[in-house]
Every structure is written in structure tokens, then in C-alpha cells.
Chain A
Amino acid sequence: MNSFHAFGLTEKGRTHAELVAEHFTTAPDLIVASPFLRAQQTALPLRRRFPNVPYEEWAVQEFVYLAAARFQDVTSADLTSVSDAYWARNDPDHIDGEGAESFVTFIQRVAMLREQLVQTSHDFVAIVSHGLFLKAFVWYTLQGSPRLTPKVMARGAMTMRGLHIGNGSIVKTWLDDNGDWYLGRIDEASVVHTTWGE
């Protein structure tokens, strides 16, 4: 793992983490975090608030589509152009280089998370993950688990760009008795909502 993925939280990020923990009105049965430091740090206040709830690390880390070497000695403008080039290729199987994964592998992790959640005996699981991963989860679920072709990837990228999941946001999902997934509202922990309807 290179330094880019080892980034910790800022002061503001730690505030988000506290707000996320406060957002819970009932204790989850399981707390899960990605192996990336920023997710583990975000999970800390939640684990402190519910010290008796078991904690596990699952492969819900961020989509890393650029090779580790890309992150060395570059400006954010350079990264934007290589990032745009990656998405413009629109190749689900493309691997940028060492340290990167393909879109197919990424979506397999999203599918694997859903499978793990179907299998678990817990009723309420809290998962601390990342922006692209959660956007992909939302898209994959709304789209009814599509098979990945270049066309489907292009539409997935478009749909994901249309979603905003800010730091400290919570994506609430519901798995019904038939095994069908439903998506609720994405809540920002730093914003207090009074009603769901509007």
C-alpha cells in the first residue's frame, strides 16, 4: 500500500467520525471497516461508543484504479488527467499497473460485500467504507447486479458521477426477507434531518 492510501483523517475528518457515531440511535450487531487507515480511524468513535459490538475488517476498501507509481511526485492536476484517461478507456478489465485493480475486480468486491451481508446472521451491520465503493454499491444495487461489459461500465461510471456521497455520509440499505436489496436515503451525519419525506 502506498502513501496515498495510507492517508489518515484531518481534524475535520475526525469531527465527521464523531458525528457518524452520534448518528446511531441503536447499536449495530457488527461494525466493519475497510483496511484503509482513513476508514479505520472513522470507525474508532463508533467502536468506542459501542465497545461490546464485534469489529471486523472486510475488503470494502476504496477502488484503486491507478498504479501506485502514479502517486509519486505528482500534482493533483496530473492525477486528474491520468484519472480521466483511465475512465475514458472504459475497459472493465484494464489494470493500470502494480497496486491497481480492474473495474471488474472492484465490482466483484461490491458483489462480495452483498453476499457477505446476505450470509451474516446479524440484523444490523455498520460498514465504514469509501466514496467510490459506496457509489458503486448504490449503482450496482439500483441496476440489479448487471453483467459488466464496456457499455455497462460506461453507464455505471455516468450514474456514479451523478451521486454525491460526502465525507461522513451514511448510505442506508435494507435487505428484505426475499433477498431483495433496497436503498434508503443517503444521510450526511453533519446535517440534521427532521423528516424523510421532503
Chain B
Amino acid sequence: MKQVWFIRHGESEGNAGLPHAVSALTPLTEKGMRQADAIPPRIVQRPDLIVISPFPRAQQTAVPTLQKFPDVPTENWDEVCEFMALSDTKHGDKVWHHRIRAADQWWHKCDPDYCEEDGMETWRALIQRVRIARTRLAALPHDFVVVFTHGTFTRTLVWDTVQGSPDITRVAMRRAREFTRMHGLQFYNGDIIPALVSSDGKWFIGGVEHAHQ
């Protein structure tokens, strides 16, 4: 069995409720930095590869772990970035409750092909990206891979894996929304979800390991 750990980035300014012009670029807060510092002691075994989302909050979260394992190769994968459904043109610089309401309205349409603006992701695109990431991770020759990634992305990967990659329909999207939303599966900043991949490519998802037990 190959091990793949999914680590959610530390608290970002977005998570802390601060407005941000470009949501992909929201950096870690002081608390997020401390959460990033708390990650390396939990990675006892040396990883064979560290995969990182290109978003700054994931990159910053990985830094203390990269310092602990300076000789471990790292790769930036666009596939493991956060779900990007809401347009910064429309919602950038807006306060937290505005973004929450915009997200609720976006999900309420429950349309797998709804695209808010050119360049933004549909739910179908997210699911396809999750499946590409999973296939790419399963194909790696390494025994232990650590992935610095995001909340909605990881919850969606867990949901899609456990549900066996269901057809992309409105019903599936409605269910995924319940499972992956902020008030569904508890997967906080700095939390780890360990997974196993068998030699024939079967995925097994472990329990969330919270940063503060």
C-alpha cells in the first residue's frame, strides 16, 4: 500500500474573514503560520515526494515541512489547487458574509455546468480535476507522498472516492454540497487526511487527524 497524506493549509486571511481582492492569492495569517510550523513534527517518516498546490497559502504552509526534509523532491500541481467557482471580479474585496451568500447562491443553482464567469470552474470541472489528481497520484512510483492542498478540494476528493466516482448529475452535486461544505465533514486548517492506494489502484481513505487533538 502506498500512502498519500492530504494536508489542508493553515488559516488564510480568507478563512479569517478578511476581504481579499484575488481569492487564489490570500496569504496565511499569523495563526496559519503557527499551524504550518506544527505540521513537520507530525510527519515522522520521510516522504518520497511533496506535492503542493500553487496557491500561496498552500506554498506557505509547506515551508516548515520543506525545511525539515530539504532533500525531498517537490512538485507544484495545478490539479490540487482549491475550487475556483466564484469570480473575483464580482466578489473580490467583499466581506465574508457576502462571499458566503454568493457561495450559497452558486450552489443553490445546483447545475454541474454553471460557470459564473469565463475562466471560473464549474462543478463538473472540479470533479474531473479531482479524478485526474487521484489518477496521477496513484500512478506515482513513490511509497509516501504528502500533498499540501485545500479544504473543498480534499473533501470533494474524499466524497468522490468513497462514492466511487458517480455520474456527474444535479443529484450527485446536491449530495456533494452537503458532504463538502464548511459545515459538513470537519477538516480544519492544518488537518491531515491519510489515504492508502493499493498496488491495483484502489483508494482507501482514513480518518481526519486534527491539528489539535
Q: Quick check: A142 and B185 within 8 Å, CB to CB?
A: yes
Judge whether B135 and A197 touch: CB under 8 Å. yes
Q: Is B202 interfacial (CB-CB < 8 Å)?
A: yes
> Is A24 in contact with chain B by the CB < 8 A criterion?
no
Residue of B nearest to A162 (CB): B179
Is A185 touching B207 in the complex (CB atoms < 8 A)?
Answer: no
Contacts across chains A and B counted by CB atoms under 8 Å: 99
Q: Chain B contact residues: over half helix, strand or loop, or mixed?
A: mixed
A175 to B172, CA, bound (A): 28
Is A159 a contact partner of B175 (Cβ separation < 8 A)?
no
A181 and B183 within 8 A (CB): no
CB distance from A117 to the nearest CB of B (A): 15
Count of residues in B whose CB is under 8 Å from the partner chain? 38
A182 with B202: CB separation less than 8 A: no
A198: which of B158, B165, B178, B210 is its contact (CB, 8 Å)? B165
The answer on a CB contact under 8 Å between A155 and B184 is: yes
A184 with B175, Cβ < 8 A, contacts A138-B162, A143-B186 known: no
Do residues B164 and A186 form an inter-chain contact, with CB atoms below 8 A? yes
- B158 near A142 with CB under 8 A, answer yes
Give the chain A neighbours of B153 by CB distance below 8 A. Answer: none
Task: Let me know if A142 and B205 touch, CB within 8 A.
Answer: yes
Contacts of B186 in A (CB 8 A): 143, 146, 152, 155
Q: Which of A155, A186, A193 contacts B163 (CB 8 A)?
A: A186
Interface of A is mostly: mixed
Chain A residues whose CB sits within 8 angstroms of the CB of B172 once the complex forms = 164
Q: Which of B185, B201, B205, B210 contacts A197 (CB 8 A)?
A: B201
Q: Is B115 an interface residue (CB 8 A)?
A: no
B177 at the interface (CB under 8 A from A): yes
B29 at the interface (CB under 8 A from A): no
Closest chain A CB from B169 CB (angstroms): 11
Of residues 136 through 177 on chain A, the ones whose CB sits less than 8 Å from some CB of chain B are 138-139, 141-146, 152, 154-155, 158-159, 161-164, 174, 176
Inter-subunit contact A155/B185 (CB<8 Å): yes
Q: What are 25 A-B interface contacts by the 8 Å CB criterion?
A: A138-B162, A141-B207, A142-B158, A142-B208, A143-B207, A143-B208, A155-B186, A159-B185, A162-B159, A162-B180, A163-B163, A163-B179, A164-B166, A174-B204, A180-B207, A182-B204, A182-B206, A183-B204, A184-B204, A185-B164, A185-B202, A186-B164, A197-B134, A197-B138, A197-B201
Top 8 closest pairs, chain A to chain B, by CB: A162-B179, A144-B207, A182-B204, A162-B178, A185-B164, A161-B178, A196-B202, A158-B184
